[in-house]
Structure formats: structure tokens, C-alpha cells
Amino acid sequence: MNSLDLAPIGNCAVSALIDREGRMAWACLPRVDGDPVFSALLGGEAPELGFWQIELVGAVSAEQHYERNTPILVTRLTDAHGAAIEIVDFCPRYPHLGRTYRPTAFARIVRPVNGAPRIRVRLRAARDWGKQLADRTRGSNHIRYLLPDAPMRLSTSAPVSFIWDEQIYRLEQEQGFFFGPDEPFAQQINPALRAMHENTRAYWRHWTRTLATPLEWQAEVIRAAITLKLCVHEETGAIVAALTTSLPEAPSSGRNWDYRYCWLRDAYYTVQALNRLGAVDILEGYLTYLRNILDATPSGRIQPVYGVGLEPALHERIVGDHLPGYRGMGPVRVGNQAHEHHQHDVYGQIILANTQAFFDQRLLRPASVEDFQALESVGERAYQAYLQPDAGLWEFRTRAASHTYSALMCWAGCDKLENAARVLGLTEREALWGARAREMRGEIEKRAWNEQLGRFAATLGGGDMDASLLQLVDARFLEADDPRFLATLDAMERMLRRGSHVLRYATEDDFGLPETAFNFCTFWFIEALHRVGREEEARALFSEMLARRTHAGLLSEDCDPLSGEPWGNYPQTYSLAGMINCAVLLSKPWSDVR
């Protein structure tokens, strides 16, 4: 694989990434953090297994688009003689028998649209992290793939022998493929897949029409919102940071991490962005996930990251040389050491994510006094930890410091507990949390401000610079016109801005100097420009960021400041949340419609 120009499909239970030629290059089973059945994305330049390709013989061009307001992908391949096929890819999702039908399954509908196209279907399911092909058995209308964690069955209206042998054949009529659980497909394939397609399209178009989109950039915001929803593991309410692992943050940097887990920080920013669009269904699911974490951790350290099934242990390991990595740039990592870290900002973000539930009358389950009491235990931990050293939001592996961002988020959590207590009429608790928040604010203002440099610093008592200081305004710790913030913004721009992009920090870490810009930080900077009145600059930078998107309308974690080439895991929830936040802030109001 030479490009991140990939388009995701999914149904909040399973997902896949598809390249411009319609090859399914990445998908994990039985859920997003599982063994990749399609591992070609990490298989180097010319992987021999781990993909599902419907190849048009002699293809010379490919066009691809999503059906409007859905994650249903349409790929059109054309050969030199004008013969063409259309591939419709989706993961079924729609109401059925009083619940949501979202199977661990991928559906493909292939149609001839011109001439006499000849195709070849190659479904090379991998196991053991791309080490070998899965064993197969065949029936009259299906092929079974004996994957250890999730045996799968391909049910199809195409000739099974052609698929088994990867034989070239003429496509003369529509053919359907359903790659799902190893159980009989008890319907006629083609009519059933057409109905699934129609029902799935109807579901997504109904969901998107409930979004409160800004006037400008509606298509961009809708695509980002749909993709954020694809990063939800709906069974538990978890929200993963990205759908991939080990896509390097920069070429051959070794900064290859597994992001297929639920970071409580990333999830907070995701629900914050979606709340701005009114997508409360994702908030409700995530709050259930958080309540289960709090039940399991009534005291002591709360981890910054958990598995999508609430697993606390995410032991990190490196896969063997048989999977060389994206563009051959290994290593490929499974698991993430961050589950061992102390990252104190997480206490504040748990409270921040829950705050809306004390105010929002739309929710099926508004927050209660009992929920507030559970959050108070988190607030106690925030109050005790806010000045203490931790790994920070950038998850430094070999050093700790008292990070301003961590202290800021702990303060924000305690400040919101005061607000929640006021809504609940808990006067004594309101007074207690208000007093603590004021105390914490005073300490942070004193310790994070560097008088000699005339600005805030990234660590308490330090002098370093970090783009997370931009959150001083978003967290409502400072007003945008505060001279201290303006001075910090000016210094950050001089130290971290690289053309149209912003670095997280510009000092050496565990892997040397950062080479690529972090997209979320660039969006933070755009927000800051808007808040301080530099509106034209903010809109210009936002337009440049939109131009950096893949053909699917999405962003990865990082990009090269010079070329704009995407790097890092993809699609990245941080980046998409930043895109939504900026669009909402910068858009003209609906009252401007004439």
C-alpha cells in the first residue's frame, strides 16, 4: 500500500477500509481491535494475502464516491474498451425486529454497467496477523473461512468455483456477495442484498437529517460525523481513536501505535463535536461505557485508555516480520502501553463528558443524584492529582512532568461538578466544588505562568511550549482577549507553526524531534484565531485543511507540513472532531440564507 487514500465502510460493529480500485485492504474481526482478516494495508508494497479484490481485467480507470449522506461506497472500474463494472460496498445496518441489525458482515453488490466486462474475485482472508491464509471449505453456494476468532462464510450468487480458483470470468448480470458469520444465508442472495442496501441507505439518511449542521461546509461536516459514528463500538458505547494500527506518524519514524481502543480523552472530544451537531445517541452510548468503567474503578487510578469491551489490559507487543507494515515501515504493534500510564487529565474529561446529562432534557436517561455522587469520586481524584507529574496527553513514555493541560482538565472537571450540583439543588456540594475549583485555578495561574517568558508554559514551573495551551480558552479558564492568552498564542505561533500547520511540540521526545504536524492542533489553532478576531486567517487555514482531506473526505492523525501528505492512523477521530468544531464556529448563521 502506497497511500492512505482509503474509504471506510462500517455499521458500528465492524468496519473496513477500501482503496481507490475497490480492494478491501483492512478489516478486523470479530471487532475493530481483532485480528485483521484483511491486512494488506500493513502488508508492504505487494501483499500476497489479506485482501478482497473484485478485479476488472484490463482496468484503466477507477472512480469512487459515497452514496449521499451514507457510508455506502460505490466504485466504478472501466477497461480500455469501455467495459465497466460498479461495486457497491456496505456493512448492513437498519432497524429489524425491534432492534438494530448490524451483523459482523460485509456486503458487496457487483453489476455490469457497460460492455462485456471480465472480472476476477480474489478473497484471500488472512489469520494470525497476516501470517497465513485462513483454511477454507466450500459448499454449493458458499465458501467457509476458518478464522480462529470468528469463522466466516462467503455466501454468493456468483459461481463458487470461480471464486475458489480465482478464475477470470465474464460478468453478465448482477452478483451479490455476503461475507458474514458462519451460518446459512437463508434468503435469495441478490434480492436480500438489494433490500439490505436500501434499508441501510434509509437508516443513514434518516440519521444524518437529524444533525444540526452549520450552513457552510455541510457535506464535509456530514461526512466527518458519519465517520465518527463508524468509530463507535455500539455494543458497549466505546469510541475508538482510529480504525487502524501502526500507520506511522512520520516516514520510518518508529512512531507506530495501535489506536483501535477507547481513549477517554479522544472520546470526550468526539462526543463534544457531535453534541454540537445534536447527535446525542453517541453521547448516550458513551456515558453507559463510562458508567461501567466507574463501577469497576470506584477509587484509585483510572486508565486513559480501555478496550472496546472495557478491557483494562492492552498489553503491547510487536508482530513478527511477516507483516512488514505500511509501505514496509514497521513495526506493527498490537495493544498499547498507554493503559499503564498516569494521565491525570482523564479525570476531568470523564466529568466533562457527563456534564451535558445534567442539563439536556432530550436524553432518555438524564443524569441523577447517584450519577453525581459517582462523579464526585472522580472529582476527588482530580483534586488530589492535578499538580502531580504524569505522562501528559501526548503520552511520553520515559519521563513525567506536571503538565498544564492535565491540571487544566482536572480544574475543568471540578468546575463542572459545581455546575451540576447547582442544577441538582445540592447547595453544600456546590459550595465545596466551587471552593476547590477556585483554589485549583489560583494554583494553575501561579505555576503555569512563566513571568520571565511572559507566557504560559506547558509544564507547571517550566518554560516549554505545547499546542495544548490553546485549550485554556476552550476550557473557559481564560477569555480569548486575556493578555496572557494573547501572549501565549503569539509565542506558540512563532514556535510551533510550520506554514499552514501546527506541531504538538517542537522539542525532542522518546523518538527524537517530531517531523509531522498534528491535525487536531492545527484545528485548535484555527479555533483560537477565530476567538481572537483573526477571522479571515482562520477561514483561510480551514480551507487549506479541507484541501488536505483524502478523496473520501477524511483526515488521518498527522500530515507533512510541506507536502500535506497524510500520516498516522486513519481515519482519526481527533482530526474529524476538529474539522466539525471549526466548521460550526466559522460558518455563517442560517439566518444569512436568502
Predicted confidence at residue 398, as pLDDT, reads 87
Residue 172: strand, helix, or coil: coil
d(CA 132, CA 488): 53
Bond prior to 30 in cis (omega within 30° of 0): yes
Q: How many other C-beta atoms lie within 10 A of the C-beta of residue 15?
A: 26
User: Tell me, what DSSP letter sits at residue 182?
Assistant: S
Cα separation, 471 vs 442, in Å, equals: 17
Sign of the CA dihedral running 462, 466, 471, 473: positive
**pLDDT of amino acid 510:** 82
Please, are residues 222 and 212 in contact by the beta-carbon 8 Å criterion?
A: no
Cis peptide before 483 (omega within 30 of 0): no
Q: For residue 148, is the peptide bond before it cis, meaning its omega torsion is within 30 degrees of 0?
A: no
CA-based end-to-end distance of the chain: 47
The three cell numbers of residue 89 are: 460496498
Q: Mapping DSSP to helix (H, G, I), strand (E, B) and coil, where does residue 91 land?
A: coil
CB atoms within 10 A of CB 86: 18
How many residues are listed for the chain in this entry? 594
- Secondary element (H or E) of residue 144: strand 142-145
CA torsion 557-560-563-567 (nearest 10°) is -40
Decide if 7-207 and 210-587 have a common fold.
no
Which residues lie across from 333 on neighbouring strands? 318
| Structural contact between residues 377 and 413, judged by C-beta atoms closer than 8 angstroms | no
Rounded CA-CA distance 549/509 in Å is 28
Residue 403: burial class (beta carbons within 10 Å; 0-12, 13-18, 19+): buried
List strand residue ranges (DSSP E) for 241-400, in order: 262-263, 305-306, 317-318, 333-334
Q: Which fold has domain 210-587?
A: Glycosyltransferase (1.50.10)
Q: Assess contact for 228 and 558: CB atoms under 8 A.
A: no
Q: Taking Cα atoms as reference points, which of 28, 513, 518, 552 lies closest to residue 258?
A: 28
DSSP secondary structure string for all residues of 484-504: HHHHHHHHHHHHHEETTEE-S
Q: CA dist 350 to 120, 458, 582, Å?
A: 50, 22, 23
Residue of 588, 589, 470 lying closest to 531 (CA atoms): 470
Nearest in space to 109 (alpha carbons), one of 94, 89, 129, 95: 89
pLDDT by residue for the chain (594 residues), tens only, comes to: 678 999 999 999 999 999 999 999 999 999 999 999 999 999 998 899 999 999 999 999 999 999 999 999 999 999 999 999 999 999 999 999 999 999 999 999 999 999 999 999 999 999 999 999 999 999 999 999 999 999 999 999 999 999 999 999 999 999 999 999 999 999 999 999 999 999 999 999 999 999 999 999 999 999 999 999 999 999 999 999 999 999 999 999 999 999 999 999 999 999 999 999 999 999 999 999 999 999 999 999 999 999 999 999 999 999 988 999 999 999 999 999 999 999 999 999 999 999 999 999 999 999 999 999 999 999 999 999 999 999 999 999 988 999 999 999 999 999 999 999 999 999 999 999 999 999 999 999 999 999 999 999 999 999 999 999 999 999 999 999 999 999 999 999 999 999 999 999 999 888 888 999 999 999 999 999 999 999 999 999 999 999 999 999 999 999 999 999 999 999 999 999 999 999 999 999 998 887
Q: What angle do CA 161, 1, 193 make, to 5 degrees?
A: 40
What are the phi and psi torsion angles at 354 (to 5°)?
-85, -20
**Which one of 3.10.180.10, 1.10.150.310, 2.70.98.10, 3.40.50.720 gives the CATH number of domain 7-207?**
2.70.98.10
Q: Which positions ≥6 away from 191 have C-beta within 8 Å? A: none
In the beta sheet, which residues pair with residue 73?
66, 89
| pTM exceeding the 0.75 threshold for the entire prediction | yes
Confidence at residue 302, expressed as pLDDT on a 0 to 100 scale: 97
Quote the CA–CA distance of 508 and 379 in Å, as a whole number. Answer: 33
Q: Residues near 411 by Cβ (< 8 Å), separated by ≥ 6?
A: 348, 382, 386, 437, 440, 441, 444, 475, 477
Phi, psi for 160 (deg, rounded to 5):
-60, -35
Rounded to whole angstroms, the Cα distance separating 276 from 490 reads 28
**Shortest CA distance to 48 belongs to which of 166, 145, 140, 141?**
166
Maximum pairwise Cα distance, the chain:
79
Residue 109: CA count within 13 A, CB half-sphere: 19
Q: Rounded to an integer, what distance in angstroms lies between the CA atom of residue 251 and that of residue 339?
A: 26
- Bridge partners of 312, per DSSP, are none
In the 8-state DSSP scheme, what is residue 302?
Answer: P
Which pLDDT value is given to residue 511? 85
**3-state secondary structure string across 98-111:** CEEECCCCEEEEEE
Axis-axis angle for helices 535-547, 519-531 (nearest 10): 160
Sign of CA dihedral 376, 581, 480, 265: positive
* DSSP designation for 135: P
Domain ranges of the chain: 7-207, 210-587
Grid look-up 484483511 returns 38
Helix axes 280-296, 264-275, angle to 10 degrees: 150
Strand partners, 17: 8, 26
Tell me whether residue 25 is exposed, middle or buried, using C-beta atoms within 10 angstroms of its C-beta: 0 to 12, 13 to 18, 19 or more. buried
